[in-house]
Homo-oligomer: A and B are copies of this chain.
Amino acid sequence: MVNSFFGEIVPLPLSTLPGFLLRRAASAMMAELAERLAVLDLRVSDATVLLLLGERGAMTSSEIGKALEIKSANMVPLLNRLAAVSAIERRPIDRKSQAIVLTASGRAALLQVQEITSKFEDDLLGRIPHSHREHFVPALLALLG
């Protein structure tokens, strides 16, 4: 046995702290989602923008940023990545604002993102026992309330 100068390593330290568990669960979930989206060469944030545009239709960069809590300065490289693979286009609205719209290729990518994320969300919920499952989303919504 290695690595036990001071006793056994228990699997989950600080496991009475909901905040600690919440952080761990989110971190593990994000890592798994990132891995699944990697086959599309998309980051989680990239895929989230595609999903948002699919849900809402065309939006400006600042609208996307407000919806997803991404600072406008950080929207620039994100949209540049999506534009670099021709998933989105910037179309002038006036001389100040521009619409971010999905291209045909972007809509095709969105379909794949939707397939991956809906499977992922099913798997995620599926790991929660039935008796607790229906309480999970309401609890998260309450925390965000």
Contacts and interface: CB of A to CB of B under 8 A. Distances in A.
A23 interface: yes
Most buried by B among A18, A99, A141: A18
Number of this chain's copies in the complex = 2
A142 B121 contact: no
A25 B63 contact: no
Interface residues of A, number: 66
Contacts of A95: none
B57 A140 contact: no
Nearest to A133: B139
Interface in A59-73: 59-60, 62-63, 66-69
Nearest to A145: B127
B137 A135 contact: no
Contact of A3 (B6, B21, B66, B127): B66
Interface of A: 3-7, 9-10, 12-15, 17-30, 33, 48, 51-52, 55-60, 62-63, 66-69, 93, 97, 99, 117, 120-121, 124-125, 127-129, 131-133, 135-145
